[in-house]
């Protein structure tokens, strides 16, 4: 099973200059999933790589995952702004 973690580019941290922090939630989930025997995991971090949404969608299609994980620890990316991307 191919599992893909996706973080879209969001507007959070805009007032703090360039800020690229790892998504801690994804790191925890990936470790948990690997402990249960799943090895085919990947991440596309649109925020860190500054990938526009259209490009992000194309990358997801190209990877053709069985499962796409989108979630967030709100403090990791600066608050409310991320909510509209995960609806």
- pLDDT value, residue 66: 96
- pLDDT value, residue 25: 79
In degrees and rounded to multiples of 5, residue 42 shows phi and psi of -145, 160
- pLDDT value, residue 2: 94
In degrees and rounded to multiples of 5, residue 13 shows phi and psi of 70, 10
- pLDDT value, residue 73: 54
The residue ranges of the chain whose pLDDT is under 50 are: 77
- pLDDT value, residue 29: 85
- pLDDT value, residue 50: 83
- pLDDT value, residue 81: 53
E strand or H helix at 44, and its extent?
strand 41-45
Give the number of domains in the chain: 1
Residue 48: alpha-carbon gap to chain centroid: 9
| Enclosing domain of residue 10 | 3-86
For the record, the structure tokens of 85 come out as 């991307």
Please report the beta strands in 28-86, taking only residues with DSSP state E, as ranges in sequence order. Answer: 41-45, 67-69
């Amino acid at each position: 099973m191919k599992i893909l973690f996706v973080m879209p580019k969001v507007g959070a941290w805009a007032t703090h200059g360039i800020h690229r922090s790892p998504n801690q939630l994804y790191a925890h989930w990936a470790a948990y999933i690997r402990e249960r025997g799943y090895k085919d995991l990947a991440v596309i971090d649109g925020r860190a790589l500054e990938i526009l949404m259209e490009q992000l969608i194309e990358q997801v299609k190209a990877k053709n995952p069985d499962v796409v994980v989108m979630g967030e620890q709100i403090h990791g990316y600066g608050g409310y702004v991320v909510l509209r991307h995960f609806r």
